[in-house]
Amino acid sequence: MNWITTNIRFPEDMYMELKIEAARRRMSVAAVIRQRLTDKKKRSPAEVTRIMRGIKKLADENARQNPGISFSKKLIEMRYEQ
């Protein structure tokens, strides 16, 4: 297989999400992106609704326990900490 190298621009928050996912899965960011591009699995509307409810529940609990904190901003700050 021949490989081609390219540059892709992402908004910083999206890039940080990719970095976190890559670290969690012990993969490179490039591997995560390739997997997402080739993943053909389609979720049913019921499954998407169930997942979104779970995410909303976690986000609400997180906001309740940490009022006024933006975790996206905190991750960005941590990235540039010296």
25 close to 32: Cβ distance less than 8 angstroms = yes
State the 10-residue block means of pLDDT for the chain, 82 residues long: 88 93 94 87 85 91 88 84 70
Decide if 44 is inside a domain: yes
- pLDDT score at 81: 76
Decide if 20 is inside a domain: yes
- pLDDT score at 32: 93
- pLDDT score at 82: 63
- pLDDT score at 13: 92
- pLDDT score at 31: 94
Total domains, the chain = 1
Q: Which domain holds residue 57?
A: 12-79
Decide if 23 is inside a domain: yes
Distance CA 73, CA 76 (A): 5
Distance CA 32, CA 37 (A): 9
